[in-house]
Amino acid sequence: MLSLQAIRERPDLVRAALVSRGAELPLLDEVLTLDREWRRELGELEALRAERNETSRRMGSQVARSPEVLAHMRDLSERIKALEATVEGREAALNDRLLVLPNIPHGSVPYGTDASENKIVRQWGTPRTFDSAPKPHWELGERLGIIDFERGVKLSGSRFYVMKGLGARMERGLINLMLDMHTKEHGYTEVLPPYLVRREIMVGTGQLPKFEAEAYRTDDDMFLVPTAEVPLTNLHREEILEASALPICYTAYSPCFRREAGAAGRDTRGLKRVHQFDKVELVKFATTESSYEELESLVGDAEAVLQRLGLAYRVVLLCTGDMGFASAKTYDLEVWAPGVGEWLEVSSCSNCGDFQARRANIRYRPEPSARPEFVHTLNGSGLALPRIVIALLENGQQEDGSVRLPETLIPYVGTGMLAA
């Protein structure tokens, strides 16, 4: 959530930032109008309350308890009650508008309207070349008997799949490798969170209200997590942290559930865009001064996994028009998948500034006696599994149809070769 004070004091700067994101400017105008009306009505309410208090004080004497004064008190009470309802409704409407305004890009984010204007920051490794056309992962997975798309559809419908045999073991091995690296080498604390969360928890990280159509919701208004970022970020909801405890770094494995509303027909074959997938998530809570250094560190932690797996990848700085709703700055990590002939995003690492912290009321004290400030929250995939599986199968394929796995996975999978 954006700072209402910043919107009041620098509306032109906020407007320009939102224009760079392609946001709907009428929303900002509505916020400014509602804020003016809310403050005016709140001032009137406070004046009426002060008048009631003064009249009540004067009524302490029997002389002041005239019929006229008593009638005036009743009138004041009725007016206050009516205005309280108006102010409350105005504040709720203002809050509703604030919740759908996106975050403001950091000054280091390049201006752009879409993904074509993103900036490639660096690249690691050399994409593998083949003498003949490499096969896509769906052919490899089905031939090896490790991915069953047909039975996934039978069980749950389109864009679900089943991993089995060495495929299931490889997925589990990848999760364990990532968690081991992040906890033992990168200093994160592992968390096993709930996979069902309350509505306000989804609001806290920015999934709601904007992306409710993409979420899976139960009849009692609980939500299946679209990412472990949601419960991890809300672990410190309504808390005040000490600066000495920051940065706090968490990692968690979770299944992720997404309807992908509006994505019908886009990349729906194979594992590229599915409704349920596994992911290891990274979340940090940092001070205002250190958060962008922590973002670079978080990106490095995700890169380390790709390097350990020997996958060629590139780091892409997203432009203003391609960033996520809650992000102030985002780097995507993309791996090369020769079978589909694409660079596939496997991690999106973002600094959200105080945007999520304002929604979830997560603060810290810069000094022991200082006034609390909002923390900065960061998150990133470390990594998302389906597209890592795609890259491993397509890059590791051999002429005889087998797939060679990276040596680092052998202790987790029990073999370095997948064969039919």
Distances (CA, A) of 206 to 77, 90, 158: 39, 22, 27
Distances (CA, A) of 248 to 42, 274, 375: 39, 31, 11
* Three-state SS annotation for the chain: CCCHHHHHHCHHHHHHHHHHHCCCHHHHHHHHHHHHHHHHHHHHHHHHHHHHHHHHHHCCCHHHCCHHHHHHHHHHHHHHHHHHHHHHHHHHHHHHHHCCCCCCCCCCCCCCCCHHHCEEEEEECCCCCCCCCCCCHHHHHHHHCCEEHHHHHHHHCCCCCEECCHHHHHHHHHHHHHHHHHHHHCCCEECCCCCEEEHHHHHHHCCCCCCHHHCCECCCCEEECCCCHHHHHHHHCCCEEEHHHCCEEEEEEEEEECCCCCCCCCCCCCCCCCCEEEEEEEEEEECCCCHHHHHHHHHHHHHHHHHHHCCCEEEEECCHHHCCCCCCEEEEEEEEECCCCEEEEEEEEEECCCHHHHHHCCEEECCCCCCCEECEEEEEEEEEHHHHHHHHHHHHECCCCCEECCHHHHHHHCCCEECC
Decide if 387 is catalytic: yes
Q: Which listed residue (169, 258, 358, 359) is catalytic?
A: 258
User: Amino acid letter at 420?
Assistant: A
CA distance 193 to 208: 19
Decide if 258 is catalytic: yes
Q: Which listed residue (273, 308, 365, 404) is catalytic?
A: 273
Decide if 359 is catalytic: no
Q: Which listed residue (20, 297, 347, 348) is catalytic?
A: 348
Q: Which listed residue (90, 169, 359, 387) is catalytic?
A: 387
Decide if 358 is catalytic: no
Decide if 348 is catalytic: yes
CA distance 318 to 193: 29
Is the alpha carbon torsion for 387, 342, 138, 144 positive or negative? negative
- Residue 83 sits at φ, ψ, to 5 deg, of -70, -35
Q: Which listed residue (342, 345, 373, 404) is catalytic?
A: 345
- Catalytic residue numbers read 258, 273, 345, 348, 387
